[in-house]
Chain A
Amino acid sequence: MIESFYELFFARYNYWMAIILMLIGLYALIAKQNLVKKLIGLNIFQTAIFLFYISLGEVRGGTAPIYLPEGVDALYVNPLPHVLILTAIVVGVSVTAVGLSLIVRIHEEYGVIDEAGLLQELRRR
């Protein structure tokens, strides 16, 4: 009983952290009224996924996957998820940039960046 509990929660605490962060991000995306805060939520959500991937490649006691001289045996961490996530980070940055510039435009046009205010503005026009 204790062992299975340990197995479920503590042996895989990295995944739980990723899930908790992801839910925080999703909460901000859904519940926050301010568009900038929504975007911050999106960033937290994406960061959680990055964390998930990076911990996926981790090997206990592994070193950085850099070529070592002949004769030295070493346990490497899996570099592939890290490389993949580099691409995903670039995607995240671009999405954030597009989102922020959209918010700038929305603010120029309507003068507000929270949802309630925007609804009011839309109804007024």
Chain B
Amino acid sequence: MRRNVIIKTVSRFLVPFIQVYALYVIVHGALGAGGGFQGGVVFAASFILMIIAFGLTCVRERFGYRWIVMLSALGITIYATIGLLCLIPGGNYLEYGSIEAALGIPHLHGYLIDAVEIGIGMTVMAIMTSIIYDMGDTGGESP
């Protein structure tokens, strides 16, 4: 299939906006409707758009298997580490308030929730993208 110039141009415009929107959804998780799952999926959707426009190989060259493994591992590590950090001041697992009380920084628990959401978002984005790669891998991807 010849790649259509309109699809290419439009997606070139759209992808940054989708990604910024995804980041907004992720960071908004602490205060309102939003969060890592939804934002991560939206972020992965931008990769799907790129795959449609530029082809699987082109996207995979820039965002390869190594990135996926690293990001998914890093995301969960952020989540689990923050959870475990809450144990140090004497709180329970994921009890953000304990860190906030120990360090005395106001609204710290909000930032910690954001950090956890970013971790979740990273993992979801990486895993969704890897699913797309795996699905597209064996199908009849035309050159």
Which A residues are within 8 Å of any B CB, using their own CB? 64, 66-67, 86, 90, 97, 100-101, 104, 108
* Known A-B contacts A101-B134, A101-B135, A108-B138; A86 and B37 likewise in contact (beta carbons under 8 Å): yes
Chain A residue numbers with a CB within 8 Å of B32 are: 66-67
- Interchain nearest-CB distance for A108 vs B (Å): 7
Q: Could you give 15 example pairs across A and B, Cβ below 8 Å?
A: A64-B33, A66-B32, A66-B33, A67-B32, A86-B37, A86-B38, A90-B37, A97-B131, A97-B134, A97-B135, A100-B135, A101-B134, A104-B135, A104-B138, A104-B139
How many Å lie between the Cα of A67 and that of B33 in the bound state?
Answer: 10
- Interchain nearest-CB distance for B51 vs A (Å): 16
- Interchain nearest-CB distance for B139 vs A (Å): 8
Chain B residue numbers with a CB within 8 Å of A64 are: 33
How many Å lie between the Cα of A66 and that of B32 in the bound state?
Answer: 6
Chain A residue numbers with a CB within 8 Å of B138 are: 104, 108
Closest A residue by C-beta to B35: A86
How many Å lie between the Cα of A86 and that of B33 in the bound state?
Answer: 12
Extra contacts besides A90-B37, A97-B135, A108-B138 (14): CB < 8 Å: A64-B33, A66-B32, A66-B33, A67-B32, A86-B37, A86-B38, A97-B131, A97-B134, A100-B135, A101-B134, A101-B135, A104-B135, A104-B138, A104-B139
Interface residues of B in 90-125 (CB under 8 A from A): none
Chain A residue numbers with a CB within 8 Å of B38 are: 86
How many Å lie between the Cα of A97 and that of B133 in the bound state?
Answer: 11
How many Å lie between the Cα of A108 and that of B134 in the bound state?
Answer: 14
- Interchain nearest-CB distance for B125 vs A (Å): 13
How many Å lie between the Cα of A101 and that of B132 in the bound state?
Answer: 10
Closest B residue by C-beta to A96: B131
B27-56 vs A, Cβ < 8 Å mask (1 yes, 0 no): 000001100011000000000000000000
Chain A residue numbers with a CB within 8 Å of B135 are: 97, 100-101, 104
How many Å lie between the Cα of A64 and that of B32 in the bound state?
Answer: 10
How many Å lie between the Cα of A87 and that of B139 in the bound state?
Answer: 29
Chain B residue numbers with a CB within 8 Å of A108 are: 138
Closest A residue by C-beta to B132: A97
Chain B residue numbers with a CB within 8 Å of A100 are: 135
Chain A residue numbers with a CB within 8 Å of B139 are: 104
